[in-house]
């Protein structure tokens, strides 16, 4: 049974970015990656006081869908996400779950009043996609600052780490893949 990763746009997401993620995620996980039809923006998760979207509520709703055993789903939302107890998150996932989520807003230079750099934005999005899918495949955070599974507390952390798993995380994750 071959693993399939679905990219699920939540609201409007650039097609070019999704295609970049298909390429990068497919290369790193060595599996098929497909783009699903977009769902509407998750207004049910909007917190007016924070002007952000609650990642936990979005994950809960996506997890209620009937995904097959061999499927993983990455929600891709051009939103500013948070989880209770944190000011923001770049993404969220359930450990060993079916569903992961990334928020794109804070990955853009423009969010911080800087000129946008498309290549940098695409690289950040790919790193966060791989990171959150790593959690869905059972990986915890890694202490290696260059590993994609290192916790990103800031864009500095995201920019410093690589898109790939370190040797130890790579061994752990690919033990979980069916032959």
- Active-site positions read 132
Per-residue DSSP letters for 83-111?
A: -TTSS-BSEEE-TT-SEEEEE-GGGSGGG
Q: Token pair for residue 156?
A: 């500095």
Residues 73, 96: Cα–Cα separation, whole Å = 12
What is the spatial distance between Cα 96 and Cα 135, in angstroms, rounded to a whole number?
6
CA distance 74 to 93: 9
d(CA 71, CA 85): 30
Long-range contacts of the stretch 48-51 (C-beta < 8 A, 24+) = 50/82, 51/80
Measured in Å, how far apart are the chain's first and last C-alpha atoms?
8
């Amino acid at each position: 049974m071959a693993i399939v990763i679905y990219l699920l746009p939540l609201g409007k997401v650039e097609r070019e970015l999704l295609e970049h993620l298909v390429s990068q995620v497919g290369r790193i996980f060595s599996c098929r990656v497909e783009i699903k039809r977009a769902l509407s923006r998750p207004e049910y998760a909007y917190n007016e006081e924070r002007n952000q979207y609650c990642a936990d509520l979005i994950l809960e709703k996506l997890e209620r869908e009937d995904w097959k055993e061999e499927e993983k789903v990455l929600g891709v939302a051009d939103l500013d996400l948070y989880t209770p107890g944190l000011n923001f998150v770049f993404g969220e996932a359930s450990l060993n779950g079916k569903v992961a989520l990334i928020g794109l807003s804070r990955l853009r230079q423009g969010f911080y009043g800087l000129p946008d750099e498309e290549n940098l934005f695409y690289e950040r999005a790919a790193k966060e996609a791989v990171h959150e899918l790593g959690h869905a495949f059972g990986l915890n955070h890694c202490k290696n600052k260059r590993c994609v599974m290192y916790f990103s507390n800031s864009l500095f952390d995201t920019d410093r780490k690589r898109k790939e798993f370190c040797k130890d995380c790579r061994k752990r994750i690919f033990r979980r893949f069916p032959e």
